[in-house]
């Protein structure tokens, strides 16, 4: 196979990580909404933690992005 073609396939494969991140972010906000509906008064207090969890999970997707960029531009 042509090396440049393999590069494109590899960069595409690197985005599979998004599946896990999608589950993760959905889980965070899903849990937050179900928790907030059970106990609406506690919701504002945990929202900061929700955002922190969101940022940490999103970062995993961006690690995959960095790998995709490295495959595309570095090698």
Partner 1 sequence: MAEMHSPMEQFEIKRLLDLKIGGLDVSFTNSSFWMIVAVIAATGVFVVGMRQRALVPGKLQSVAELGYEFIAGMVRDNVGDAGKQYFPFIFTLFIFILFANVLGMVPYSFTPTSHIVVTFAMALFVFLGVTIIGFAKHGLHFFSFFVPKGVPFVLVPLLVFIEVISYLIRPVSLSVRLFANMLAGHTMLKVFGGFVVAMGLLGGWAPLAFIVALTGLELLIAFLQAYVFAILTCLYLNDAIHLSH
CB of 55 to partner 1, least distance (A): 5
Residue from 5, 55, 74, 75 that binds partner 1 (CB under 8 A)?
A: 55
Residue from 63, 71, 74, 75 that binds partner 1 (CB under 8 A)?
A: 63
> CB of 72 within 8 A of CB of 7?
yes
51 makes contact with partner 1 (CB under 8 A)? yes
Instruction: Report residue 61 as tokens.
Output: 């997707």
* Exposure on the CB side of residue 64, measured as CA atoms within 13 A: 17
Q: Residue 47's closest CA among 24, 28, 23, 20?
A: 28
> CB of 35 within 8 A of CB of 46?
yes
Instruction: Select 8 or 66, whichever has its Cβ closest to partner 1.
Output: 66
13 makes contact with partner 1 (CB under 8 A)? no
Positions in the binding site for partner 1 (CB under 8 A) = 51-52, 54-56, 58-59, 62-63, 65-66, 69, 73
């Amino acid at each position: 196979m042509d090396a440049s073609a393999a590069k494109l396939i590899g960069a595409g494969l690197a985005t599979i990580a998004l599946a896990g991140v999608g589950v993760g972010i959905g889980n965070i906000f899903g849990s937050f909404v179900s928790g907030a509906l059970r106990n609406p008064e506690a919701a504002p207090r945990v929202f900061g933690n929700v955002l922190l969890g969101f940022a940490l999970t999103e970062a995993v997707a961006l690690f995959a992005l960095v790998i995709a960029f490295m495959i595309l531009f570095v090698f």
